[in-house]
Amino acid sequence: MDERLPKIDEVISTVFGDAFGLSTGIKRRRTLQVEHDMRSFLESEADRFLTDDERTLLAAEREFEPIGAACRALEAEVLFVALTGFITPPYLAPDLLLRRVQLDLVDALVGYVAYEVLREYDSSSIRMELRRTLFRARHDLKRERREQSWARKVAKMSPRDREGMERMERQIAELTARSRPPAAGHLTPNDNDQPGAPRD
């Protein structure tokens, strides 16, 4: 197919422009931050996802103008392949609220590229990998937010309440250890086991 695919810059500007127009205040600032982080990621990591011809093209663009070269020179298909790297460590935002915006915007980019830009191409395998990575990242985000919320609650407890909670946690851990089945290869003593008693 000879139809030119849009450049990464065009795709990012479209999706983030829509998100920027629909947001205000702190969410708008987070949207701008995620766009900045994504463009920086692509400029530093794009070479990992390129063919030899694409590397030659990018090198020529960097000779002309290094800043923003990857987003200007490379097509949307490269963005689609690279997005998985942007939603895995160390590129996940450490701030949990910013990370949620990051994942939402990547989700929007996946849908836009898959169904608008690459609609004539079979992108199902890349799309499935992106969806799996997004699912894992969202799951981890929920877990970290729960842990953060619990840590805040503990910090507000009085020393007496905290001591009581820690005592309860120790008791639960002991009960769990007692009820756990023995590891393979370890004998469990029973009432018939007497010191020095013969064994079969």
**Which domain, by its residues, includes 47?**
8-144
In a domain, 79, yes or no: yes
In a domain, 149, yes or no: no
- Count of domains observed in the chain: 1
> Among 98, 92, 82, 99, which Cα is nearest to 27's?
98
In a domain, 185, yes or no: no
Tens of pLDDT along the chain (200 residues) come to 446 889 999 999 999 988 888 778 899 999 999 999 999 999 999 899 899 999 999 999 999 899 999 999 999 999 999 999 999 999 999 999 999 999 999 999 999 998 888 887 888 888 899 999 999 999 999 999 898 877 777 777 777 767 777 787 787 878 888 877 666 555 555 545 454 555 55
Rounded distance between C-alpha atoms, residue 112 and residue 14, angstroms: 9
In a domain, 21, yes or no: yes
> Looking only at Cα atoms, what is the longest distance across the chain?
87
In a domain, 176, yes or no: no
In a domain, 70, yes or no: yes
In a domain, 126, yes or no: yes
Alpha helices in 46-158 (DSSP H): 52-64, 69-73, 76-86, 96-112, 124-156
In a domain, 179, yes or no: no
CB 8 within 8 A of CB 74: yes
